């Protein structure tokens, strides 16, 4: 994700930190879109996964996505995550996610950009009001690659390591 987009999303997160809730916000440098969460992978599978991701990348061109409107995941009544919904570019994103899921596995969720994981909510009405007022917030950027990222959880939060990178076509 381009630096200027990260900054814009980070400023939205800073406004959200004032809301009546306790939440863990995704760090600016860790903001990302996720095609599929693969879970624990046996090292022996990595070379086949890299090969498959390279093949998938060769079938898709770079594309733009527009993220807007704050989503309540799993639902507005009981939300554990607040995220930006992927609007423009959604069909291509879902197509890539579906291919990864069918050929590699994992857990493909509807496309979104996670802003925070919510632990406690103290006043839903104020959160709903904020999200309604933020409906004009949007960011647009190009998806130009598929990356395989290793996530290691620690007391200080996740540590991400790039294991593989494959560019989408021009």
Supply the range of the domain harboring residue 72.
Answer: 3-167
68-77 contacts, C-beta under 8 A, 24 or more apart: 68/135, 68/136, 68/137, 68/138, 68/139, 69/135, 70/115, 70/131, 70/134, 70/135, 70/137, 71/112, 72/131, 73/112, 76/128
| CATH number of the domain enclosing 110 | 3.90.1140.10
Q: Which residue has the higher pLDDT, 150 or 154?
A: 150
Q: What is the pTM of this model?
A: 0.87
Number of domains in the chain: 1
Structure tokens at 137: 């917030």
The torsion region of residue 12 among left (phi > 0), alpha (psi -120 to 50) and beta comes to: alpha
pLDDT in tens, 38-74: 988 888 999 999 999 999 999 999 999 999 999 999 9
């Amino acid at each position: 994700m381009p630096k200027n987009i990260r900054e814009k999303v980070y400023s939205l997160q800073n406004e959200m930190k004032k809301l009546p809730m306790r939440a863990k916000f995704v760090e600016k440098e860790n903001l990302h879109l996720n095609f599929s969460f693969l879970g624990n992978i046996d090292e022996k599978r990595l070379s086949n996964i890299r090969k498959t991701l390279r093949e998938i990348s060769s079938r898709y061109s770079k594309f733009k996505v527009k993220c807007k409107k704050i989503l309540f995941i799993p639902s507005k009544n009981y939300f554990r995550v607040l995220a930006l919904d992927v609007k423009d570019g959604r069909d291509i994103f879902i197509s890539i996610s579906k291919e990864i899921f069918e050929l590699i596995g994992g857990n493909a969720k509807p496309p979104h950009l996670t802003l925070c994981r919510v632990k406690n909510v103290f006043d839903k009405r104020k959160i709903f009001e904020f999200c309604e007022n933020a409906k004009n917030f949007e960011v647009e950027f190009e998806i130009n690659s598929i990356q395989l990222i290793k996530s290691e959880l620690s007391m200080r939060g996740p540590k991400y390591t790039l294991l593989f990178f494959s560019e989408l076509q021009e």
